[in-house]
Amino acid sequence: MRQQTIVLASAALLLAASAAACSSDGSGGGEASTPPPATAGATSPSASPGGARVVASGLAVPWGVAFLPGGDALVTERDTANLVRVSPSGQRRQIAKVPGVQPEGEGGLLGVAVSPSYATDHLVYLYFTTASDNRVVRATLDGSLGAPQPIVTGIPKGPNHDGGRLQFGPDKMLYITTGETGDGPLSQDKNSLAGKILRVTPDGKPAPGNPFGNRIWTYGHRNVQGIAWDDKGRMYATEFGQNTFDEINRIEKGKNYGWPEVEGVGRRKGFTDPLLTWSTDEASPSGLAYANGSLWAAALGGRRLWQVPLDNGRAGRPAAHFEAVYGRLRAAVAAPDGTLWITTSNRDGRGDPAKDDDRIISVPVR
């Protein structure tokens, strides 16, 4: 593991990184570069993960992870459309093959969330790609999965940049991340659900207090695949850039995060600059979790777990863990026992799968 200091790259290095990058989530198009706007006075992280253990292996592109009240996790497999239940001891059971999923490119069975009222309503939420759109459905889980009921439909789909993360926030509203499917102007179009973070009620309606009277919470995103809240309720998101800058953004109501007008730090009126950025060979940040005073970002192209210490909402100096140990990392989720669960994504067509891939790995961070 190494401590990574973010530095300002020269124009020549930026051009070289741009030439090396591509526009999809694994080999580039979410791998960024250059300095965060606020790292002055940053301190080294106070906790480093150690004693990682493999919880489960032999999965097929595990994309989303959400924990049930008893400690078991629901895990989605992107390309098989399987919803799998995994216990902390590694016991695994397929719950269902989710109907209506049509995997293609970066689409398929993606995010999963568990209702904050699961003890009484037994509802789980899924984000997936169909033949015509991306959508969010909910279904009861009572031993078996009930018939999925669509609550948000018509999210644009594409071979790349399908977003897909689902998570309930501290306000018990459901947050949904969407990609712009390679059509950049959609991110700035407040009549489109593409390239946005959406905020909806548990039944899919626009949440009270949304800034534009619809489902949109923030816009100007390229392809958000990770969201998290700190212990003060501040929201953060990972963002795939195109050729130069990957980002972590502080997410605030109604703000425009710039895509496709700005990539990385633009310092332009009307656009919100990122909290920090990475170079193209270091990131492709996907899942995001908050634990023990830090954000933890799973990196696909960077093949490492990034720890970003926070100080009152400001980012400290990132540290890289497990660099090139497990390969491509997709999800990062805080588990009920105080560990992180991270998933590998080496069987997604862009990695070099080991015999036991894909894996779920438990990482102590206390």
Model pTM score: 0.88
Inside any domain, residue 353: no
Q: Is 200 helix (H, G, I), strand (E, B) or coil?
A: strand
Q: Tell me how far apart the alpha carbons of residues 311 and 320 are, in angstroms, rounded to a whole number.
A: 18
Does residue 88 have a pLDDT over 70? yes
Digit-coded pLDDT (tens) for 253-286 = 999 999 999 999 999 999 999 999 997 778 889 9
- C-alpha angle with apex 303: 301 to 305, nearest 5 degrees? 120
Inside any domain, residue 233: yes
> Omega into 88 within 30° of 0, i.e. cis?
no
Q: Contact at 8 Å (CB) between 36 and 264? A: no
Inside any domain, residue 331: no
Q: Contact at 8 Å (CB) between 331 and 62? A: yes
Inside any domain, residue 47: no
Counting Cβ atoms within 10 Å, is residue 148 exposed (0-12), middle (13-18) or buried (19+)? buried
Domain count, the chain: 1
- Pick the closest to residue 110 from 65, 145, 149 (CA basis): 65
Q: Which residues contact 119 (CB under 8 A, 6 or more apart)?
A: 69
Inside any domain, residue 310: no
Q: Tell me how far apart the alpha carbons of residues 36 and 176 are, in angstroms, rounded to a whole number.
A: 25
Q: What are the angstrom distances between the C-alpha of 212 and each of 91, 196, 237?
A: 45, 13, 20
Inside any domain, residue 343: no
pLDDT of residue 244: 87
Residue type, 70: G
Q: Contact at 8 Å (CB) between 80 and 60? A: yes
Q: 181 lies in which domain range?
A: 54-287
Q: What phi and psi, each to the nearest 5 degrees, are found at residue 9? A: -80, 150
pLDDT of residue 1: 40
Cα 17–chain centre separation: 23
- Pick the closest to residue 224 from 200, 201, 203, 250 (CA basis): 250
Region 12-23: mean pLDDT is: 33
Q: Contact at 8 Å (CB) between 138 and 124? A: yes
What's 233's domain CATH number? 2.120.10.30
Digit-coded pLDDT (tens) for 207-260 = 999 999 999 999 999 999 999 999 999 999 999 888 888 999 999 999 999 999
Residue 366 pLDDT grade (very low, low, confident, very high; cuts 50, 70, 90):
low
